[in-house]
Amino acid sequence: SNNGGQVGRHYFSHSQGAGVQALFSHDLNCWYGLPAQGVAVDNWADDNFDHAGLDFIGGGNLWVFSDRRPISAAGMNTFGRAPRWGAAWKRFIKENADRSIGSYLQKTTLPYEDNYLDLHPTVTDPLGDPVCRITADFKDNEKKVAAFVQDKMVAWFEEVGAVEIVRQGVGTMGPSTHAYGGTRMGDNAETNVVDRWGFSHEAPNLGVLGGSVMGTSGAHNPTETAQALAWRTAEHLVEHWRGIAG
């Protein structure tokens, strides 16, 4: 089902990181609660805001949650106030482990043909099978979205009194639990692997389920969309069973 050379193409993930770390002069009680108690701000997600004068499409949402456990404090940002090892570092961690918190973004990601998955030509798994290789990166639109939303994160922390704020890099694309693409759906068999119902253009009785058929992503998690597409494919199979099964 790959005569068009499209299997593996248009891989992408909306999980970028592009975080902002903030330090406060008071305890935040970050040890209390779980990530599920976090906050996601959708004001700048997708098309929820006016894009006039902006040079990108889509957007991202701001995430922050309390998930600070003692062991995780060892990797916290020192904001240039202490070295990364030694007695001074230990003192800084002890004093500030509960005074630092970070935010990150999830954003619209566009599909690009040169972001792709293939089988590695030399690396194999313990069974001797080639491992999956990811060749992908975020492009200009995703980087511009990240920079825009990072500005909002910085303003967010400034408003609530952070004494230090550090912007992290915009991140790179790699393995992710929010992975999309590779068997993209569409009406054109030359540029897509499956049709609008999730069945292969070249092997009509082959259906594909999951995020791999999605052609783009928004700022929100893909689970419900992937489930809806799976139900849609299943319903189409039931309704057209005789024609599909032959």
Tell me the pLDDT tens digit for each residue of 58-105.
Answer: 999 998 877 667 777 888 899 999 999 999 999 999 999 999 998 988
Predicted pLDDT at 226 = 93
| Distance from C-alpha of 80 to C-alpha of 32, rounded to nearest angstrom | 27
Residue written as tokens 């959708």?
42
pLDDT tens-digit map of 227-246: 999 999 999 999 999 998 87
Quote the CA–CA distance of 89 and 73 in Å, as a whole number: 11
In a domain, 6, yes or no: no
- Answer yes or no: is 124 within a domain: yes
**Token representation of residue 86:** 């030694």
Same domain, 183 and 77: no
Both structure tokens of 51: 């894009």
Residues 115 and 27 in one domain: yes
Tokens standing for 98? 């509960």
Q: What is the DSSP string of 190-204?
A: TT-SB-TTSBBSSST
Kindly report the CA angle at 213 between 109 and 180, in degrees rounded to 5?
35
Element (H, E) at 243: helix 241-245
Residues 105 and 143 in one domain: yes
Report if residue 3 sits inside a domain: no
CA pair distance 104, 219, nearest whole angstrom: 12
Q: Are residues 120 and 239 located together in one domain of the fold? A: no
Residue 225 lies in a domain: yes
226, 210 in Cβ contact below 8 A? yes
Lowest mean pLDDT among 3-7, 90-94, 124-128: 3-7
Alpha-carbon dihedral angle through residues 7, 10, 11, 15, given to the nearest 10 degrees: -160
Same domain, 114 and 162: yes
pTM (predicted TM-score): 0.87
Residue 37 carries which side chain, given as an amino acid letter?
Q
- Burial (CB < 10 A; 0-12, 13-18, 19+), residue 20, is buried
pLDDT averaged over every residue in the chain: 91
Domain that holds residue 91: 14-167
How many other CB atoms are found less than 10 A from the CB of residue 138?
24
Q: How many angstroms separate the CA atoms of 156 and 150, rounded?
A: 10
The reply to whether 5 falls in a domain is: no
Q: Are 35 and 81 in the same domain?
A: yes
Question: Of the candidates 167, 192, 214, which is a domain's last residue?
Answer: 167
Number of domains within the chain = 2
The amino acid sitting at 227 is Q
Do residue 129 and residue 201 come from a single domain? no
> Do 158 and 187 fall into the same domain?
no
The answer on 199 and 116 residing in a single domain is no
43 near 246, Cβ under 8 Å? no
Query: Looking at this protein, which amino acid is placed at residue 208?
Result: V
Helix ranges restricted to H, the chain: 86-96, 140-159, 223-239, 241-245
